[in-house]
């Protein structure tokens, strides 16, 4: 994979190359005169780029990053009463929470903003490095700094991480699951129409191909139940249950729902 960079950010690019190499990814640097829309149109293959705003994934004339700074308006609007995820994850109690399906980290950012202490687990080395870059950028933002200090990034396979926590007898209040490709596990056309991929997600799906190493997260549910008082699963509204296991309780929204599995915990 190539990492494109302008000369002034070459040192930053070299840092990312070293970090990715330590995580098993070989990346070569290509210095560009100007990283603009025209450049990316002429370099449509999947790659990376680095600039003043950190590390980006790029392809097909587009670029993306988790971009936690762009979530600030949503965070400022959010409250424990207005967010369904806050009720599902019982965020009023400022829980210790594991997000075992990191994605772009936006749900974790919201939950941390609403008081949770989040361990964000991601196994893909490039996605993890993108998340790491976003956290570094967010730490420089006065509003986001106290939020992201409540997020710990863990580079690990979620199944292995949860199994390790179970074996060590470690317990958390909540494990949150939002499988990357839930639309694969049902045949309801309405769900597929709801699951139209946003432009930002197109690049993520190129990095994490649906028919490749990714799975639906079925194996995570049982492991999560071993370490958490409650497991919360985000699903498209009409999707089947994760691992075909009926939920203890649901919170229903227009497009999605939250399925909760309680381990001898009182429902509030």
Annotated binding site: 122-123, 178
End-to-end CA distance of the chain: give it in Å, rounded.
49
Q: What is the dihedral of CA 216, 67, 81, 195, to 10 degrees?
A: -40
Sign for the pseudo-dihedral over CA of 19, 24, 28, 34: negative
Beta carbons of 49 and 3 less than 8 angstroms apart: yes
Least Cα distance to 79 among 68, 67, 88, 91 occurs for 91
248-265: burial string, b at 16+ Cβ within 10 Å, e else: eeebeeeebbbbbbbeee
Q: What are phi and psi of 176, to 5 degrees?
A: -110, 130
Known binding residues for S-adenosyl-L-methionine: 122-123, 178
Could you give the C-alpha distances from 5 to 18, 53, 62, 124, 128, in angstroms and in order?
A: 15, 12, 15, 22, 20
> Structure tokens of 223?
């492991």
Q: How are strands ordered across the β-sheet holding 2-6?
A: 28-32, 2-6, 47-51, 54-59, 62-64
Dist CA 253 CA 260 (whole Å)? 14
CA atoms in the 13 A half-sphere facing the CB of 153: 21
Q: Identify the helix (H) or strand (E) that includes residue 119.
A: strand 117-122
């Amino acid at each position: 994979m190539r990492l494109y960079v302008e000369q002034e950010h070459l040192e930053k690019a070299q840092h990312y190359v070293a970090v990715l190499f330590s995580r098993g990814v070989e990346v070569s640097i290509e210095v560009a005169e100007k990283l603009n829309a025209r450049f990316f149109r002429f370099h449509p293959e999947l790659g990376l780029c680095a600039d003043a705003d950190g590390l980006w994934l790029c392809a097909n004339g587009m670029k993306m990053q988790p971009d936690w700074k762009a979530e600030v308006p949503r965070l400022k609007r959010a409250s424990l009463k207005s967010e369904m995820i806050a009720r599902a994850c019982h965020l009023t109690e400022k829980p210790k929470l594991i997000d075992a399906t990191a994605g772009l980290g936006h749900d974790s950012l919201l939950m941390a903003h609403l008081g949770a202490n989040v361990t964000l687990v991601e196994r893909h080395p490039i996605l993890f490095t993108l998340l790491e870059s976003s956290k570094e950028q967010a730490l420089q933002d006065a509003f986001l700094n106290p939020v992201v200090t409540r997020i710990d990034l863990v580079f690990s396979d979620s199944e292995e991480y949860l199994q390790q926590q179970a074996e060590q007898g470690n317990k958390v209040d909540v494990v949150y699951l939002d499988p990357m490709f839930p639309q694969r596990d049902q045949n309801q056309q309405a769900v597929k129409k709801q699951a139209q991929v946003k432009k930002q997600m197109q690049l993520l799906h190129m990095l994490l191909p649906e028919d490749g190493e990714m799975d639906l997260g079925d194996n995570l549910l049982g492991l999560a139940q071993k370490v958490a008082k409650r497991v919360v699963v985000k699903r498209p509204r009409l999707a089947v249950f994760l691992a075909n296991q009926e939920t203890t309780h649901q919170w229903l929204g227009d497009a999605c729902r939250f399925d909760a599995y309680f381990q001898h915990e009182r429902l509030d």
